[in-house]
Amino acid sequence: MASLDREQERAQDGAPEVDPAFSLSNERTFLAWVRTALVLIAGGVVAAKSINFNHEVWRWVVAAPPLLAGAAVAIHAPIRWRTYEAAMSSGRRLPVGRGLVSAGVALGVYALVTLIVMFVDG
């Protein structure tokens, strides 16, 4: 009975009822972003602490990018979650994911730089 009252109130407000499945899916996506951030940060720490390099500069060339990327993803995750939740609640179209192509290119460049560093450092 209470859910009917809520639906009637939302219908009167003009705000569409958000299907809980979409809200839960948005939450799972948020958690996936948080896991990704955690893995990036852990990878950066592992690179900084356990890979032997002959020069300290190379250690930070390999370790810093995943640490910074992990921090950026961790900061972006709640912003993205709120943006999508607000769009669903107001009935607007979901925003297009920006930066996905850039992230893929950056990952490829990072892999190449890491391979070059490992080759040069010997």
The verdict on residue 1 lying in a domain is no
The verdict on residue 59 lying in a domain is yes
The verdict on residue 58 lying in a domain is yes
- Print the domain residue range for 34: 18-121
pTM over 0.75: yes
Contact 41, 77 (CB under 8 A): no
Residue tagged 């709640």 (tokens): 78
Task: Provide the number of structural domains found in the chain.
Answer: 1
The verdict on residue 45 lying in a domain is yes
The verdict on residue 10 lying in a domain is no
The verdict on residue 82 lying in a domain is yes
pLDDT bucket at 19, cuts 50 / 70 / 90: confident
Mean pLDDT of the chain: 86
Measured CA distances, 65 to 13, 23, 100 (Å): 47, 32, 17
Q: What are phi and psi of 53, to 5 degrees?
A: -120, 150
The verdict on residue 12 lying in a domain is no
List Cβ neighbours of 107 (8 Å cut-off, separation of 6 or more): none
The verdict on residue 9 lying in a domain is no
pLDDT digits (tens, 9 = 90+) for 42-85: 999 999 998 888 889 999 999 999 999 999 999 999 999 999 99
